[in-house]
Amino acid sequence: MRAMVLDRPGVPLRLADLPRGDPGPGQVLVRVAACGVCRTDLHLCDGDLPLARVPLVPGHEIVGRVEATGPGVEGFAAGTRIGVPWLGWTCGRCNYCASGRENLCDEARFTGYQIDGGYAEYAVADARYCFALPAAYDDAEAAPLLCAGLIGYRSLVAAGEGRRLGIYGFGAAAHIVCQVAVRQGREVCAFTRPGDAAAQAFARALGAAWAGESGALPPAPLDAAIVFAPVGALVPAALRATAKGGTVVCAGIHMSDIPAFPYHLLWGERRVVSVANLTRRDGEAFLALAPEVPVRTAVETFPLARANEALERLRAGRITGAAVLRPD
């Protein structure tokens, strides 16, 4: 099968011909129809996250059809369309798993990180961590739901129920969360890179009440903020824009260092929290909610062999919505 392979951080992905692989007990072999390009993939390629092994096939927003099943698989027959997310396996025994917090399992394995992912024509996945997908979305439209959507949804829940929500970094996750928040009756303020008028217009088109640069203050204090951009300096900026009792959610798996800031920005029972990974319960809840909103994903598709171009466009902030690879 064709696959885009990461040999080491800092070098472009390599197009390779790899063995297809066979599903073991409890696993499914998926013929990939689409795979989203996530900022986490960029962090892996750039060396921001430690790599457990190389070579590695990235990609953890996989949409495809079951080609074959291993022994013991229930619920997914050959031909079924499924989604394969970031969380690929947990131990099921630790305190985190036993208390509904499998996203924090110390032994967890992640698709496109410890497990070869979807920048390929085929992928093998643990069936227990795969999802049935809403029929309302075609393959490319469904791909961003599997990380941008799921992590965005978990971040929105962590932000609480405040009416005025700030979103810092208006990319794949933000464009999904904005739609959910607007449907919930919230007032969304979108913060973008300086001078990014296109992203600000995109946010307004999705229902944001206000859009401006990341260093600006919104028209009124925020009840909560979600920081999707991997820029630590945005945390004190978000605190400055947030009212007393508000919450600032750090939603990325990687962020540059948060600079020192005066205590008065935190005082007043403001909170800074992080969101790590996702649970299967998050996936089930969000994938049921998305077509009810309805969430519409904006995607730009690329052939598999142009994965490096998609990553570079993402790095430069030149993707509106989400980038998606297609192997055909």
Is residue 157 scored above 90 in pLDDT?
yes
Q: Residue 168: which domain range?
A: 150-274
Is the Cβ–Cβ distance between 148 and 314 less than 8 Å? no
DSSP codes of every residue in 25-46: TTEEEEEEEEEEE-HHHHHHHH
Residues 138 and 286 occupy one common structural domain: yes
- Mean per-residue pLDDT, 264-270: 98
Cα Dmax for the chain: 58
Q: Which residues, in sequence order, are CB contacts of 267 under 8 Å at separation 6+?
A: none
- Mean per-residue pLDDT, 198-216: 97
Dig out the tokens for 304 from the structure.
């598999």
Residues 163 and 224 occupy one common structural domain: yes
- Cα radius of gyration rounded to whole Å, the chain: 19
Q: Which stretches of the chain are DSSP H helices?
A: 39-46, 95-98, 139-142, 148-159, 172-183, 197-205, 234-241, 280-289, 307-315
- Per cent of the chain over pLDDT 70 is 100
Residues 247 and 288 occupy one common structural domain: no
Is residue 121 scored above 90 in pLDDT?
yes
Q: What is the pLDDT of residues 127-156, one digit of tens each?
A: 999 999 999 999 999 999 999 999 999 999
Query: Which pLDDT value is given to residue 328?
Result: 83
How far is the CA of 303 from the CAs of 120, 236, 300, 318, in angstroms? 11, 39, 10, 17
Task: Report the C-alpha gap between 258 and 231 in whole angstroms.
Answer: 8
Three-state secondary-structure class, residue 171: coil
Dig out the tokens for 285 from the structure.
């809840």
Provide the domain count of the chain. Answer: 2
Residues 68 and 87 occupy one common structural domain: yes
- Mean per-residue pLDDT, 7-29: 97
Is residue 71 scored above 90 in pLDDT?
yes
Residues 12 and 114 occupy one common structural domain: yes
Domain-terminating residue out of 236, 259, 274:
274
- Mean per-residue pLDDT, 8-14: 97
Query: Which pLDDT value is given to residue 19?
Result: 96
Residues 134 and 10 occupy one common structural domain: yes
Residues 118 and 21 occupy one common structural domain: yes
Residues 59 and 165 occupy one common structural domain: no
Query: Which pLDDT value is given to residue 111?
Result: 98
Q: What is the pTM of this model?
A: 0.96
Q: Which stretches of 64-114 are DSSP H helices?
A: 95-98
Domain-terminating residue out of 257, 274, 291:
274
Residues 164 and 220 occupy one common structural domain: yes
Residues 39 and 175 occupy one common structural domain: no
- Per cent of the chain over pLDDT 90 is 99
Query: Which pLDDT value is given to residue 51?
Result: 92
Residues 7 and 122 occupy one common structural domain: yes
Is residue 52 scored above 90 in pLDDT?
no
Task: Report the C-alpha gap between 3 and 118 in whole angstroms.
Answer: 8
Measured in whole angstroms, the distance separating CA 246 from the mean position of its chain's CA atoms is 24
Q: What is the pLDDT of residues 88-97, one digit of tens each?
A: 999 999 999 9
Domain-terminating residue out of 232, 252, 274:
274
CATH number at residue 104: 3.90.180.10
Q: Which residues, in sequence order, are CB contacts of 152 under 8 Å at separation 6+?
A: 173, 174, 176, 177, 180, 226, 228, 251
Q: What is the mean pLDDT of the chain?
A: 97
CATH number at residue 196: 3.40.50.720
